[in-house]
Structure formats: C-alpha cells, structure tokens
Amino acid sequence: MQLNLPARPPFSFSSVVRSHGWMQLAPFILDQDSGDLRYAHQLASGRVVDLLLQAAPGGEGVRVKTGADLDKAEAAEVARKVGWMLGLDMDFSTFYARARRTPKLAQAEAEARGRVLRSATFFEDTVKTILTTNTSWAGTIRMVGTLVEQFGAPLPDEPERRAFPTPGRLAQSDVATLRNETRLGYRAPYVLELAQAEAGGELDLEAYKTNDLPTPELRKALLAIKGVGPYAAANLLMLLGRYDYLPVDSWALKVVSHEWHAGEPIDPAEVEAAFEDWGQWKGLAFWFWDWDYKWDYKDEETA
C-alpha cells in the first residue's frame, strides 16, 4: 500500500530526517545512500507494519509505502502518525522572518530547517529522551536497541526487526530485568514507572501533543516525570513544538563556549543568555545555528 502525504512548504524530507540523532535509534533505519527511512510500528490494531518513508516526487511531501494491506482505519492511523513524525503541517514562517536577518540562520528557510524528527508516539520519545541522559550517544543507541529487541513486537516477515515496545508490554517487566539485562542502569525504574503509569491510565502522554497548556506549565508536567530533568524537559518540549527552553547539555556548553567565549568554561546561564532574545523560538535558533566549532557530540555525555 502507498500513501502520498502533502506538507506545508517549505519542506525537505532529508532536513527532517537528519535534524538530530533520532534516525540512528531503533526502530528507525536510515539508508544512507537513498535517504529512505524505515520504521517498524505497532498499530492500534496490534499489527506490526514496516513503514518506508521517502521524499515525494517534487519534494513537497512524503511517500509512505508498506508491504501490508491496510484497512481504512489503519491507513488513517499511519497517515496521522507519519504526519506527526515529520511535522508535515507545521508553520515556521515567523521563525524564518527572524532567521533571514541572522547570518547564522540565513539558510534556514532555503533548507527548510525547523522540523525535528519525532517518533510515532510521545511515549517512545519520552523513553528515548530519558535514555539520552548521563551517557554517551553510543550508550543511548545500545540501550534503545536492546529495549526494542527484548520487548518490541516483531515484523511478521522480518522477525529480527521489531517495533518500539508498547507501554503495556514494558509495564510487564521489572526493575531487575531492565537494569541488568536491558542494561538501563539507574534509568530502569524510571522507564518502568513511566510505562506502568501510561498503561494504567494514570498518565496520557499522547494528550501532550495537542494540549493548550502554557509552555511553563507543560514543562512543569514533564519535570514531574521521574527521570526527566531540565535538559530532558527542554528536549521533549522541542519535540512538542515548544521552543521556549534550551536543552543545555555538554554539547551546548561546548559550542556556545567556542562561539562567544573563546573556548573558556561557561555555565548554563551563559547558554541561555546567548539566545534569550529569540523568545519562543530560542530552542529552534539554538538547534539550527551554524556553529563555528564543528564538534562531534556523539561520544560525549548529555546532561
């Protein structure tokens, strides 16, 4: 089955996919040669499908292919989920108007920068974000991969590939398994408690996608999740399209230091100050800034 989904222009499939490291985390698989993105996803019906995401002809949207035949409800779910993952209806015109006057962001509109790759569910994004804390990027890749391998439902035709585990499936695990076998370390009880709260109806992370809470209140709600600190909350807010806060980690400290402080040690307050006048867009300005110091953050620890 094939779906063709339009996007609000300007849109670049490649810019979204490569906007951050999510495309390296299971169940995403990026074909470096073609630029196609595969994603195994368990639908509400329980079926696990392989979604092949490609730039649509002309680049004005995305083409979604799946080897499975989908019924009407499943096709609508796939369209909705992919629309969210790629931010197809997002409007960055206000950000672009400001970026045009800023040399370090002058190419943002031409390159259709602004959208950030997201997972199909906010539960998945929250777990992945928790697994970025206090570890190297290689550690995050390993933890997410093991979590998917141990608890994700398999694709019928490719059982070695699995979807991200549902809250219900993870909720059936225990801290010892997640800590010692999945090797999540201190994060194990946080992931388990989050899964149990979501599966039990005490928490509805999907509702965060569409809620109209002021950003400070939404941030407060995210900080109430165990394992989510200021860095993780800012990262999650950006995935929700809220850019009022900066995800300050070791990478942020390093690049801001080299951009404005001659490489001297700085603290988070100085990172905040560098983008304070961007207001509601400061997280986006920070994320897509053309940094002078090209630093590979992947082997560094996050906050």
Position 302 scores a pLDDT of 53
Position 297 scores a pLDDT of 46
What number is the average pLDDT over the span 179-195? 98
Can you give the length of the chain in residues? 303
For residue 130, which of 176, 190, 175, 174 has the smallest C-alpha distance? 190
Burial of 101 (0-12, 13-18, 19+ CB in 10 A): exposed
CATH 3.30.310.20 positions along the chain are: 2-105
For residue 188, which of 237, 227, 149, 225 has the smallest C-alpha distance? 227
For residue 148, which of 166, 136, 175, 129 has the smallest C-alpha distance? 166
Fold assignment, 2-105: TATA-Binding Protein (3.30.310)
% of the chain surpassing 70 pLDDT: 97
What number is the average pLDDT over the span 4-21? 97
Whether 296 shows a pLDDT value over 60: the answer reads no
What number is the average pLDDT over the span 61-71? 93
CATH 1.10.340.30 positions along the chain are: 122-237
% of the chain surpassing 90 pLDDT: 92
Whether 299 shows a pLDDT value over 50: the answer reads no
pLDDT tens, residue by residue, 76-106: 999 999 999 999 999 999 999 999 999 999 9
pLDDT tens, residue by residue, 194-249: 999 999 999 999 999 999 999 999 999 999 999 999 999 999 999 999 999 999 99
Evaluate whether 17 touches 117 at the Cβ level (below 8 Å). Answer: yes
Fold assignment, 122-237: Endonuclease III; domain 1 (1.10.340)
Whether 177 shows a pLDDT value over 90: the answer reads yes
**What is the secondary structure of 160-200 as a DSSP string?**
TSBPPPPHHHHHTS-HHIIIIIS--GGGHHHHHHHHHHHHT
The angle, 0 to 180 degrees and rounded to 10, between the axes of the packed helices 268-275 and 250-260 is 60
Whether 68 shows a pLDDT value over 90: the answer reads no
Q: What mean pLDDT value characterizes the chain?
A: 95
pLDDT tens, residue by residue, 109-119: 999 999 999 99
